């Protein structure tokens, strides 16, 4: 399974969350298998999202798209998000 971890600061969490959920169908069509949202305990406008994706190539295409940049701006993301592409290690 492929995981993508995204960290960013937002102007207003409620605004960000609304845009995030609006985009669920597009993420799913692009290979997303779901996501978990985390907020910083001391600054709830610091957000981390852990996504599961079906294929690394599809994930990279989605996260490197101009469409996503426009969505982040509309959602009130401050600055450039940190995006980590990770593959689950299965041999413990």
Digit-coded pLDDT (tens) for 40-70: 999 999 999 999 999 999 999 999 988 888 8
Q: Is the pLDDT of residue 92 over 70?
A: no
For residue 48, is it within any domain? Answer: yes
For residue 92, is it within any domain? Answer: no
pTM of the model as a whole: 0.90
47: CATH: 3.30.70.100
What is the pLDDT at residue 3? 96
Over residues 11-20, the mean pLDDT reads 97
Q: Is the pLDDT of residue 35 over 70?
A: yes
Long-range CB pairs of 24-30 (<8 Å, 24+ gap) are: 26/67, 27/51, 27/62, 30/58, 30/61, 30/62
The C-alpha atoms of residue 37 and residue 71 are separated, in whole angstroms, by: 17
Q: What is the span of the domain harbouring residue 65?
A: 2-87
Mean pLDDT score of the chain, rounded to an integer? 94
Residues 6+ positions from 57 with CB-CB distance below 8 Å:
none
**b or e along 37-47 (b: 16 or more beta carbons within 10 Å of the residue's beta carbon)?**
eeeeeeeeebb
Number of domains in the chain: 1
H helix intervals, 10-86:
13-22, 24-29, 56-63, 66-75
Over residues 7-11, the mean pLDDT reads 97
């Amino acid at each position: 399974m492929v995981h993508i971890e995204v960290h960013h600061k937002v102007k207003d969490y409620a605004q960000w969350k609304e845009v995030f959920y609006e985009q669920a169908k597009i993420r799913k069509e692009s290979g997303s298998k779901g996501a978990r949202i985390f907020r910083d305990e001391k600054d709830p406008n610091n957000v981390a999202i852990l996504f599961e994706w079906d294929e690394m190539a599809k994930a990279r295409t989605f996260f490197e798209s101009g469409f996503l940049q426009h969505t982040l701006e509309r959602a009130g993301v401050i600055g450039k998000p940190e995006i980590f592409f990770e593959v689950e290690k299965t041999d413990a």
